[in-house]
Amino acid sequence: MLTIDGINVAYGKVQVLHDLSLNVKENEIVTIIGSNGAGKTTTLNAIMGALKPTKGKIDFLGKRMDQLDSNKIVASGISIVPEGRRVFPDFSVYENLLTGACVRRMHGTKLAEVENDIKRMYELFPRLKERHSQKAWSLSGGEQQMLAIARSLVSRPKLLLLDEPSLGLAPVLVREVFDIIKTINKDGTTILLVEQNANMALEHSDRAYVIESGKIVVEGPADELRHSEKVKKAYLGG
């Protein structure tokens, strides 16, 4: 579904990704783990078109993506839940969800169809339905994370990118968010996940990549990496 082939990415003169390659197959949950500054978020930004590779290419569903602008990438079926949620604080829950369909609306999707998708989000996230008219700033951190995920799903992505979905959440909410990620995947959305909580991410993923200094250093089935002594020592606190 997604193939990243030997990309280099830089911020100005500082190169962050070095010949990075990975792939995500349809219906998988794939996770990228690594320390702060390793290049995880940079990888997601390159996929979304916010950063352009200076070398290599990114293909999605057989089409080259790395030279397209972000709107066209979203329209192709990729959406991202960025680190820090970035909901619109002065918009209501409902208004935030509507913004998730902006690109679809630009391409002729009728409001009634979007409303049906929002109803589905309220089924998936009952607390958002309860807070339908509340301003996003008044939600708890966990509720804002749910809103950010739901807003991305309203764009009907084939591939959902999640950047640190558990960041700043209490342990009970972390488990809830990962249960939701599993449900989304079972409903047919492929997921590429960046996550500091490596143990939880590996527990819920099919495959995983470990990134260090902008390079993939380990890859394999998530359960295998979970039990790897090297990975446990470096990332799982064991």
Phi-psi region of 24 (alpha: psi -120 to 50; beta: other; left: phi over 0): beta
Question: Which portions of the chain are predicted below pLDDT 50?
Answer: none
Q: What is the pLDDT of residue 210?
A: 94
Which amino acid, 122? Y
Shared-domain flag, residues 121 and 186: no
Shared-domain flag, residues 131 and 24: no
H/E stretch holding 124 reads: helix 111-124
Q: Considering the domain boundaries, does residue 84 fall inside one?
A: no
Report angle CA 107, 156, 184 to the nearest 5 degrees: 180
Residue 161, classed as helix, strand or coil, is strand
Tell me 114's DSSP state.
Answer: H
Quote the domain boundaries for residue 132: 89-155
Q: What is the pLDDT of residue 237?
A: 62
Residue 134, classed as helix, strand or coil, is coil
Q: What is the pLDDT of residue 16?
A: 95
Shared-domain flag, residues 70 and 171: yes
Q: Are 161 and 177 in contact (CB under 8 A)?
A: no
Shared-domain flag, residues 93 and 67: no
Which of the listed residues 132, 155, 178 is the one where a domain comes to its end?
Answer: 155
H/E stretch holding 198 reads: helix 198-203
Q: What is the pLDDT of residue 31?
A: 96
Q: What is the pLDDT of residue 83?
A: 83
- pTM, full prediction: 0.89
Shared-domain flag, residues 27 and 12: yes
CATH of the domain at 50: 3.40.50.300
